[in-house]
Amino acid sequence: MSDLRPPEHQVAGHRAAPNKLGPLVDGAGLFYKPLQALDRGEQELAFYTAFSVHPAVPPRIRDKFFPRFHGTRLLPTVANPGESHPHIVLDDLLEGFPSPSVTDIKIGACTWPPRAPEPYVAKCLAKDRGSTSVLLGFRVSGIRVSDAGGAVWLPDRSELKGTDIPGVRRMLGRYVSSVGGDGMDCALAAAVYGGGGGVLAQLRELKAWFEVQTLFHFYSASVLLIYDANAVTAAGGGGGVRVKLVDFAHVVESEGVIDHNFLGGLCSLIKFIADIVAETSDMVSSGDS
């Protein structure tokens, strides 16, 4: 318990600070997410509880793409140690990566559950139209690049919010580049995005499940792309790369149909990243000739 601290490498969402609740990690592989207000925490907990034992979820999909759920735990609040607040206990998805690079990508042109109350729908719709969500089927909510030399690039959130489609392309290029120089060498594109264990292969496996699953609709959930530059370089061919789904406060049960909104966005992300890999390999080829 004494080792609990805010995660160093978080890229999106609420952060722990004095007088503010935020996620904590224990350094031994667990991540504590405070239950959110306005029923969101209860809804996220209900999702994890249902999902973690659902007989129709393939174990490989659950293990590979979702944080493992370890129940809940009351933790004293930072502001007032006499009080306590319930936390959802999950695997720490960055565990074992000394210098993780992380991109948080909110999937779906539409982030509002169809039966949500009107003011919430209006708020989400404005954000979806004001960001790349409607045009692109996803938006980048956070990004942090830590290269093999330990240099870090962490754009602030206002920079992300104003991003257009070419801006997203640049960010997903920078995500696999060294931090120095102009930050666009795409040196790790093939190793992180390509290959048998890379981002694209993992996203395509996830896509195959979304083409058939009629259990849940994952409104406003994110895909985290995670890698460690040194692990990727050491392992080669996509080792040291993780793809995980997070943020389930707005997941709803399906009415017997697939999550076409998430699937469409996921397909768009796959094509978008595949194009970056293709352009990078063209660059490398023409540089060699």
Question: Which of residues 16 and 136 has its CB atom nearest to a copy of itself in the complex?
Answer: 136
Residue 193 tokens read as: 């995005």
For a copy of itself, give the closer residue by CB, 5 or 271. 271
Helix %, strand %, coil % of the chain (to 5): 35, 20, 40
Told to check if 215 binds a copy of itself by CB under 8 A, we report no
Q: Is 187 in the site for a copy of itself (CB under 8 A)?
A: no
Q: How far is the CB of 215 from a copy of itself (least distance, A)?
A: 13
SS3 33: strand
Instruction: Give the total of residues touching a copy of itself (CB under 8 A).
Output: 28
Q: Which helix (H) or strand (E) holds 138?
A: strand 138-146
Residues 107-126 touching a copy of itself, rule: CB under 8 A, are: 109-110, 114, 125
Q: Would you state the torsion angle of the CA atoms of residues 63, 51, 223, 128, taken in this order, to the nearest 10 degrees?
A: 170
Q: Is 280 in the site for a copy of itself (CB under 8 A)?
A: no
CA separation for the pair 170, 155 (Å, rounded): 12
Closest CA to 151 of 197, 73, 99, 194: 99
- The answer to whether the beta carbons of residues 101 and 178 sit under 8 Å apart is no
Question: Within 13 Å and on the Cβ side, how many CA atoms surround 272?
Answer: 24
Q: Within 249-278, which residues bind a copy of itself (CB under 8 A)?
A: 255-258, 260-261, 263-265, 267-268, 271-272, 275
Contact 232/191 with Cβ under 8 angstroms? yes
Residue 199 is a binding residue for a copy of itself (CB under 8 A): no
Nearer to a copy of itself, 68 or 169 (CB): 169
Q: Which of 135, 154, 201, 215 binds a copy of itself (CB under 8 A)?
A: 135
136 binds a copy of itself (CB under 8 A): yes
**Choices 12-20, 51-59, 91-99, 128-136 (CB under 8 A): range interacting with a copy of itself:** 128-136
Q: What residues line the site for a copy of itself (CB under 8 A)?
A: 109-110, 114, 125, 129, 134-137, 165, 169, 211-212, 214, 255-258, 260-261, 263-265, 267-268, 271-272, 275
